[in-house]
Amino acid sequence: MSRRLPLIALLVFVPLWLAASYAVRYGFMEDPQWVGLCSGQVQAWECGVRSTLGYMIHFRVMAWVALGLAVLGFVLPRCAGRGVAVLALVVGIPALVLYTASIAVFAVVIAGLRLVRR
């Protein structure tokens, strides 16, 4: 296995994850079809998922989790720190896209700094 394979995989995964996060934002959270459908008393499971995601955005759960993981990844040594930093990126990128950029930007920067540190 090449030493660069994890880096290449991360560089392919991050833009795909960013695109998926934007698809959730514009295709599920802001789409007028879903807003109209879920504004009534409909008990569809999609509306429950949308509501839960809305509460997570409102209370900034993803951003705080990403920040905690990024700080933890920054202080952990070697592979454990790198793994936690990648997990912080996985949580932090949707937090950036889904309206909690004020906190999530610090998480993504700290996780990115941890990933480039030797």
SS (H, E, C) 66-118: HHHHHHHHHHCCHHHHHHHHHHHHHHHHHHHHCCCHHHHHHHHHHHHHHHHCC
**Residue 1 confidence (pLDDT):** 67
Task: Tell me what percent of the residues of the chain surpass a pLDDT of 90.
Answer: 69
- Which pTM does this prediction carry? 0.89
At 54-96, the pLDDT tens digits run 999 999 999 999 999 999 999 999 899 999 999 999 999 999 9
Per the prediction, the chain carries an average pLDDT of 91
